Amino acid sequence: MTSKLYASAVQFHIRSGQVQENLATVLAGLDRLSKQNVCLAVLPEMWSSGFDYSNLTSLALQTPQVLQALSEFSAACEMVIVGSLPEREGDALYNTSYVIDAGVVKGRYRKLHLFSPMREDRNLRAGNETLVVDTSVGRIGVAICYDLRFPELFRRLTMDGAELICLSAQWPKPRSDHWRTLLKARAIENQVFMVAANCCGRQGKLDFFGSSMIVSPRGEILAEAGEEPCNVMADIDWEAQRAYRQAIPAWNDRRTDVYGDLT
């Protein structure tokens, strides 16, 4: 692993139910990133289809084809790609984030916390496992949207060795201040990099504000998008992360004898 990594969060307007159109948009964006030597790209939540619940079962049937296209791109451009897609297994549907590296699906994470105000819990099944995976760019953890409100998950990912956490989201405009605050908090309290991709534009009655961002372990916003489609990029400096963890040794100073530890 090199001392630095050039990473990106991909932000675009997801067209509900339009898998091939969304795939074409993503591949075009990834192609532009490859020309800028980006090694890690994070895509939004359910980026191929949106939350088109009435058609999601059939739309999920296209996910293997989408993964194949991303795998071929990943292999050709030596890029790690992380993003959430609808996954069908038997009669169950999941909101699943895939980690693709060198053309291979290295891991998948099924969203643990389903957002009941948007009926996600009525249409999808929750996962039961966390994911931290070794990749060609380093050891990364994975989370999805509503997961951001649960600090225990991010502490677990970091304790399992994640140095960077990828978050795919469809986070709506009314709670934009929560988005910024929680992303910085998760980075600071765990001393990890956060690469978070949100969508933008309007879907049904909801406005999505974008603001995809990359945050340092210090809580510094290294890159942040506006509300329009774009790719944000920043250097991930592993040496700076290690130096900061030594300067502020919060991990060593935990009092697990008093408040316990995650097991």
Residue 90: the pLDDT is 94
Write the pLDDT tens digit of every residue in 221-235.
999 999 999 999 999
- Work out the percent of the chain whose per-residue pLDDT is above 70: 99
Residues with active-site annotation: 45, 111, 145
Average pLDDT of the chain, as a whole number: 96
User: In which band, very low, low, confident or very high, does the pLDDT at 263 lie, cut at 50, 70 and 90?
Assistant: low
Domain residue ranges of the chain, discontinuous segments joined by +: 4-249
pLDDT digits (tens, 9 = 90+) for 242-260: 999 999 999 999 999 999 8
pLDDT tens figures, 130-174 = 999 999 999 999 999 999 999 999 999 999 999 999 999 999 988
How confident is the model at residue 2, as a pLDDT? 66
The string over 4-32, giving b where at least 16 C-beta atoms fall within 10 Å of a residue's C-beta and e elsewhere, is ebbbbbbbbbbbebbbeebbebbeebbee
Over residues 4-29, the pLDDT tens digits come to 899 999 999 999 999 999 999 999 99
Q: How far is CA 187 from CA 20, 59, 213, in A?
A: 34, 34, 12
Q: What pLDDT is attached to residue 118?
A: 84
Query: Token match 């372990």: residue?
Result: 217
Contact indicator for 130, 160 with CB cutoff of 8 Å: yes
Contact in structure between 172 and 207 (CB atoms under 8 Å): yes
pLDDT tens by residue, 83-135: 999 999 999 999 999 999 999 999 999 999 999 888 899 999 999 999 999 99
CATH topology of domain 4-249: Nitrilase/N-carbamoyl-D-aminoacid amidohydrolase (3.60.110)
Look at residues 149, 145, 151 and name the one whose alpha carbon lies nearest to residue 172: 145
Band the pLDDT of 206: cuts 50, 70, 90. Answer: confident
pLDDT for residue 1: 58
